[in-house]
A and B are shown apart, each in its own frame.
Chain A
């Protein structure tokens, strides 16, 4: 997919003016937050489980090489194959080879952000293999030639009327007079159409929420059951997973599962949590004959040992974007690459470079909600700050911004000068702005005041008020 992260500002402007999108984004604000809160409140151990989940991932990452080796040994022992892919290109090549070896023409796919990251669909199509997305949301956006706008609700940017239009356009073998006005009828139609595809597919590709070193098991978590039909019916099951999905044991996976669905959709458990170990065993009447795992690095090993290592704890629940005021306002596509929201603002610069995605860590108010709700306690704002620093160090921001920051830093480092400046500037602003209470325009700050008013200061500086507060407190004590 084309990276449009450098055009974040234009993307955001477009998103704000998009009436359909703004209507659809209301569903994010309305739905996810309450559901998560209720599920969390019903489990008194929730916060302790978060600590445990964080500790498990920290431990696994500190010995990631050893756990990957242990995992590989177990997969092989259960009759599966493990393929290592350093880059997206390597992963695509490996998957194509697996498909070609069985003469695959149709491939069904469970929902997988990793296959978005490696742009698998376009590549398979270019090589004469038809990929069919089977998650309802993914199916819809595949029909539209779009990419997911949310990591767990890929079509959250759409309304039912848009889906109806697409179904009528693509399912043109069905009666024109059929009723598709409600989500129920749309779902029923997708179910019927996709049923046939599961049986037709030669290869089924899924992602993985966890790779379990103890048993060589891959795990997926879904609500629809599409990931299961994708892996149980075709001859070959291919799992594409990034290296940081490793957890040591099934018990460790169970701990993290307790915070995953609650944080994502507010369910105690997703409907289907599926553990897959190797191909079908002797005597099994169903299941794939071949089982392949493609382990993708694609830049992650370089995040280890850096200030961005904590990001590798991410379990892709989507809670950070569900609670993000910026995501609520512009939606996922504005971020311009695979991963949107706060987790994307940290991960995208790590994976495609901060030179292309510097706007993303800046598209935050640092309100801190993402960190507060993250089940894995990932310090997202802190890491966005690290990216801002790197961006500044490498001279990637525009000259005016750098000049402005330098100007501010000069005063911030000289408190007496800062106080002097403020004690002159604030009363002046206060004097000019008192009548209206705010400024609609300001010299040198046109970009800021274009979209909002600056409230006028009320006469005294913050430091002056802080001193008064201290004095009052001391008096109260004595």
Chain B
């Protein structure tokens, strides 16, 4: 008997059940297809304007910085301004995201845009979020050529653009946005739910920012 069969049969023995038990199978099938949403906190169930405001407030509470701009066209300037304010070189790493690509980067002559995944030598990276969660100020980022995962973790400063229309009230709604059919798979390889910059409290429980991931997380909210 394979290890797989041995484990499964021991589980069935302990549960006093059989594998072809129709009622259990039906209950499992139902749960998987219906995916009930359980208890949704009232906190994030707001109209669009209040939801965006809550998202910004919650993100700031967990040490992210938030900047709001009116349109995508204002993003390159906001990025350049952030880099200047942190005394960082005028260089930004980003993936092939179409929303980012259509922004007027060439208008900023002094800003160097590096494309592709990060190799660890970038001071600042830029991503576009797939969704946001107002409830907790959480960003949802998905892997792929558009927004390579390495950009989320290797640069010291991570700048994330999010469209206010993509901010959901609760985590369940935001997760619904990532269950997309991409290359035949139901999920992207990596989904990162990011709530604030990296931190550790492992030495004497003293909370410090910038453990292994970015020291700073700057969120640019477009519209709303």
Q: A residues bordering B, Cβ < 8 Å?
A: 24, 27-28, 30-31, 43-45, 48-49, 52, 56, 59, 62-70, 74, 77-79, 84-86, 90, 134-137, 140, 153-156, 158-160, 163, 183-184, 186-187, 191, 194-195, 199, 213-217, 223-226, 228-229, 231-233, 243, 248-252, 254-255, 257-258, 265, 267-287, 295, 297, 301-306
Chain B binding surface SS class: loop
**A297 close to B7 (CB less than 8 A):** yes
**B205 close to A156 (CB less than 8 A):** yes
For A184, list chain B residues within 8 Å (CB). Answer: 208
For B31, list chain A residues within 8 Å (CB). Answer: 59, 248-249
Q: How many whole Å from B154's CB to the nearest CB in chain A?
A: 8
**A187 close to B208 (CB less than 8 A):** yes
**B210 close to A228 (CB less than 8 A):** no
Which single residue of chain B is at the shortest CB-CB distance from A199? B120
**B183 close to A283 (CB less than 8 A):** yes
Nearest 5 CB-CB pairs, A to B? A225-B213, A224-B211, A137-B202, A304-B14, A275-B191
For B211, list chain A residues within 8 Å (CB). Answer: 136, 187, 191, 223-226
| Most chain A Cβ neighbours within 10 Å, of B39, B43, B175, B214 | B39
Which of B10, B15, B197 contacts A62, CB < 8 Å? B15
Using a Cβ cutoff of 8 Å, how many contacts connect chains A and B?
280
**B32 close to A254 (CB less than 8 A):** no
Q: Can you identify 15 A-B contacts, CB atoms within 8 angstroms?
A: A44-B42, A66-B24, A84-B7, A140-B202, A184-B208, A215-B179, A225-B213, A228-B152, A249-B31, A271-B213, A274-B193, A275-B193, A285-B116, A287-B189, A297-B10
**A277 close to B172 (CB less than 8 A):** no
Assembly CA distance A440 to B41 (angstroms): 54
| Most chain B Cβ neighbours within 10 Å, of A90, A257, A273 | A273
For A271, list chain B residues within 8 Å (CB). Answer: 62, 194-199, 213
**Contact A136/B4 with A184-B208, A271-B195, A285-B116 known, Cβ cut-off 8 Å:** no
Which of B32, B150, B195, B202 contacts A155, CB < 8 Å? B202
| Most chain B Cβ neighbours within 10 Å, of A66, A140, A243, A282 | A66
**Contact A302/B14 with A24-B204, A287-B190 known, Cβ cut-off 8 Å:** yes
For A283, list chain B residues within 8 Å (CB). Answer: 144-145, 183
Which of B25, B153, B187, B212 contacts A194, CB < 8 Å? B212
Q: B residues bordering A, Cβ < 8 Å?
A: 2-4, 6-8, 10-12, 14-17, 19, 24-25, 27-28, 31-32, 35-39, 41-43, 58, 62, 95, 116-117, 120, 135-136, 138, 143-145, 148-150, 152-154, 170-172, 175, 178-179, 182-183, 185-206, 208, 210-214
For A56, list chain B residues within 8 Å (CB). Answer: 38
**A251 close to B38 (CB less than 8 A):** yes
**Contact A251/B172 with A45-B39, A65-B8, A275-B191 known, Cβ cut-off 8 Å:** yes
Which single residue of chain A is at the shortest CB-CB distance from B213? A225
**B212 close to A224 (CB less than 8 A):** yes
For A70, list chain B residues within 8 Å (CB). Answer: 28, 32
For B138, list chain A residues within 8 Å (CB). Answer: 269, 273
Q: How many whole Å from A193's CB to the nearest CB in chain B?
A: 11
**A64 close to B15 (CB less than 8 A):** yes
Known: A191-B212, A250-B179, A271-B198. 10 other contacts (CB 8 A): A66-B19, A90-B3, A191-B210, A225-B153, A229-B213, A248-B28, A249-B32, A283-B144, A287-B190, A305-B16
Q: How many whole Å from A395's CB to the nearest CB in chain B?
A: 26
**Contact A277/B194 with A24-B204, A250-B35, A304-B11 known, Cβ cut-off 8 Å:** no
For B199, list chain A residues within 8 Å (CB). Answer: 223-224, 271
Assembly CA distance A65 to B95 (angstroms): 41
**B200 close to A187 (CB less than 8 A):** yes
Q: How many whole Å from A264's CB to the nearest CB in chain B?
A: 11
For A248, list chain B residues within 8 Å (CB). Answer: 28, 31-32, 35
| Most chain B Cβ neighbours within 10 Å, of A257, A258, A275, A283 | A275
**Contact A66/B4 with A277-B185, A277-B189 known, Cβ cut-off 8 Å:** no
Which of A86, A160, A213 contacts B203, CB < 8 Å? A160
| Most chain A Cβ neighbours within 10 Å, of B10, B182, B185, B205 | B205
For A155, list chain B residues within 8 Å (CB). Answer: 202-203
For B144, list chain A residues within 8 Å (CB). Answer: 281, 283-284
Which single residue of chain A is at the shortest CB-CB distance from B206? A183
| Most chain A Cβ neighbours within 10 Å, of B10, B178, B197 | B10
Q: How many whole Å from A26's CB to the nearest CB in chain B?
A: 10
For A302, list chain B residues within 8 Å (CB). Answer: 10, 14
**A228 close to B192 (CB less than 8 A):** yes
Assembly CA distance A216 to B127 (angstroms): 26
Which single residue of chain A is at the shortest CB-CB distance from B182? A281
For A303, list chain B residues within 8 Å (CB). Answer: 14
